[in-house]
Structure 1
């Protein structure tokens, strides 16, 4: 920074506080105007290491506006989950805001958690610096705390800075403010428990604050779930794209930069960014430089996203584009019924509590053609689910059966009723491991007439019962997943179930090339949907009515 542009730092003179009324008036303004307090009393170090007033940038002002709006709302407390680009000043804002908030309140407890020890130590150092640079008349009395704790004895207020990793960070605490930094990079084994315990430790009462912030890091995990479940989980999303940072521009470019038919001609992507977000050539030039320094294009998009979709689409290796999945989510319809299987009467029926393992987005229509993809689990009440995905002739998901408490033998009976309920739909059932049990009962006991037969050497084996079902292996799995990818990309499939869409978001290609759910996530709904899509033939004539028992229609 040139010397002439440096901000001159002067501490408030003693004359400003010569009278009690002057002190009280200043304190009142500081207590109600954080931006004023920050610029006048908080000091940060510039690139030369010199103290300068903390003046809020655009991103910090926008976040402050959201905080104040939530404060002023009827509920009166703050819950925000932040998705950000790198180095936009959130740590600086956090420590100054936390200090200001505690300084003007009594009997409050604040907790700041960072992803790494060195980061938490740096944050605590920033807090200490803010306190040190405060004018004596404005500085609360500091008593001795722990290694990373500040205690204001005259206010009975404290702030503690810790590092994520240990289990149950929030257990036994009652907090009023929690600022959780880079949560997407918290230790995976404890991130969900720690995040939840800290949120619970900060009751939803007036003036309480919980702010969770991070750059993106994959399409699963505690932070990913918290961000994508907002606002249904009580949090409000805050996104700050890279171009909101004033420093992210490079004006050192030639007169022909960005001009057509020159070496500096803009790419289609750059032109779209300029048109959509109003970017300058300086910002595009900066972006080019950063992309050259990044290891991969995906790394740049994750750390400097222009949209939330950029951040998560390019974090990790998701198989299904978040952009396309978001389109599906917006077009999804609500369930029309939830049904429970009554074994005694061999029928699906509604219960008074409207709960059930079968969710219908459209009731069966006589004469329509349906396809069912069935994935089979152990039914222990833990782990994987038995899934039946139901597609109609237009590739619309009209229903889903989902249970982790049904054993494979009983599941064969449920599939028999489900298939006949949907006009004797063609059923493709995975026969790996326990799938053989469900398949055997479905075919041999119930003699279900419309089961998928896998092909061997391009011919259907004469012993068709041995070839019923789908064998998922390293050759067939990529095939059905790629077909589902293609259907999603082209908009040829409608998915209504939010669980299915969530599992599609967390379905990834591993570093070893495997296709599976992200750690801690499930992929049962994805596999069942992929199988149903695999056998889908489009509209065709239904089976002869003599194969469909009239008693199955329209009653269940």
Structure 2
């Protein structure tokens, strides 16, 4: 679904069985087909107004099959979302940001690894992701899109969506409904039950999504199994141990399993701090660590600097830290553009004036270490701690041999 190698293999098998090649239509062609086929369908009666032509049947079959095997093809043509302000707002097609493509690239890699384990007669472990991130980089939108794709293309899928409170859970439900309600009729599954903010059950497809609130004391997902899990704002959950103690043991060890826990930092020495840093530093045989820094989406945080602007010393140190650490987090060395650096310097300056530099560094972090800030007063100011972090050099590993071994 995410790995191009696996998608290519599945497409080849389908084409061999069908006796014809599947066509990857560009978005404008898909939109024209959707409008054309929509006119042939009575949405009130849920019946065709006329018989479909062989060409129309072929297009529907083509899109249904490609949608099933290829998440990216399906989502960028058929998923409708609330667009970010930088995209003009309103409703529109999902166009992946740079930050979201980083996530999808890792999902493809981990899917390949699990597929290889299965091919070697080893047990699959699924894809379990602890995503620690800066603020508003599209992780929730991507995760709801991933969940909706599974719900509408694979029979019998069980999905769990959860967040810290009822308002956040309702946001997840609304995102899902926006996608589901705007699917074309031939890709839209029959809905059997739909209780707002609680659950959606699909009839013939036998898939379902359950929405749960993190403030409940009873175990999240306890006593059930889910193939796809997405929890948001995990650092703010009042009873976070239910995630590890109650939910984790129920997660299936299957190649089809997808579990995404996402959050920004909320202080230090708490469950999310311990959980993510444990996975990042010590590793885990099932959990995969993912950090998304503030600059991962180049169009999101930027502002045109005035003529003659020169970055401050602290901004230069920050840009240097980004250049040093970015290969680990986004796979390439990043030199911040003047627009990005001016935005960062300006927002940081405002945060210092308001006495909330620690909150700014949490929300717009460049490294995991920078994200975990003290929420209360410290013996050292956030400015001093920030400068010390930025001036510290990246550690190097050494191969130490003792006694001639």
What is the match of residue 232 of structure 1?
Answer: 284
Query: Which among 17, 38, 43 is matched to residue 80 of structure 2?
Result: 43
In structure 2, the gaps of 5 or more residues are 1-26, 39-51, 118-123, 325-333, 401-405
Cα distance, 1:244 vs. partner?
Answer: 1.0
Deviation at 1:54, TM superposition (A): 0.6
- Distance in 2, Cα, partners of 1:214 & 1:223: 8
Higher radius of gyration, 1 or 2: 1
Are residues 293 and 31 of structure 1, via their aligned partners in 2, closer, same or farther at CA, if it must alter by over 3 Å? farther
Distance 1:293 1:247, change over 3 A: farther
Counterpart residue number, 1:241:
293
Partner of 2:100: 60
Other-structure match for 2:178: 129
Q: Which has the higher contact order (CA 8 A, sep 6+)?
A: 2
RMSD (Å), alpha carbons: 3.3
Aligned residue runs from structure 1 range 338-487, under 5 A: none
Q: Deviations over 1:290-323 (max 9, x none)?
A: 2244342211111111011111255667889897
How high is the TM-score relative to the length of structure 2?
Answer: 0.71
Decide whether aligned partners of structure 1 residues 102 and 313 sit closer, same or farther in structure 2, where only a CA change above 3 A counts: same
The equivalent of 2:62 in structure 1 is 25
**Aligned-partner Cα distance in 2 for 1:34–1:284:** 34
- Correspondence for 1:372: none
User: Distance in 2 between the 1:103 and 1:23 partners?
Assistant: 15
Q: Which residue of 2 aligns with 1:160?
A: 210
- Per the alignment, in what secondary structure is the counterpart of residue 59 of structure 2? helix
> Is the 8 Å Cα contact of residues 158 and 227 (structure 2) preserved in structure 1?
yes
| Counterparts of residues 138-157 of structure 1 (less than 5 Å) | 138-148=187-197, 149-157=199-207
Cα offset, 1:85, TM superposition: 0.7
The two structures have a TM-score, normalised by structure 1, of 0.52
**Structure 1 stretches lacking a partner, 5+ long:** 1-6, 334-556
Partner of 2:367: 307
SS, match of residue 88 in structure 1: coil
Show the counterpart of 1:449: none
Deviation of the 1:140 alpha carbon? 0.8
Cα contact 1:35–1:56 (8 A) shared by 2: no
| Distance in structure 1 (CA, Å) of the matches to 2:360 and 2:109 | 32
Match of 1:105 in 2: 154
Residue 43 to residue 270, structure 1, CA distance change in 2 (3 Å): same
Q: What is residue 11 of structure 2 aligned with on the other side?
A: none
Q: Residues 76 and 70 of structure 1: is their aligned pair in 2 closer, same or farther, counting only changes over 3 Å?
A: farther
1:199 lines up with 2:248 in the alignment: yes
Aligned length: 321
Distance 1:275 1:105, change over 3 A: closer
d(CA) in 1 for partners of 2:392, 2:269: 15
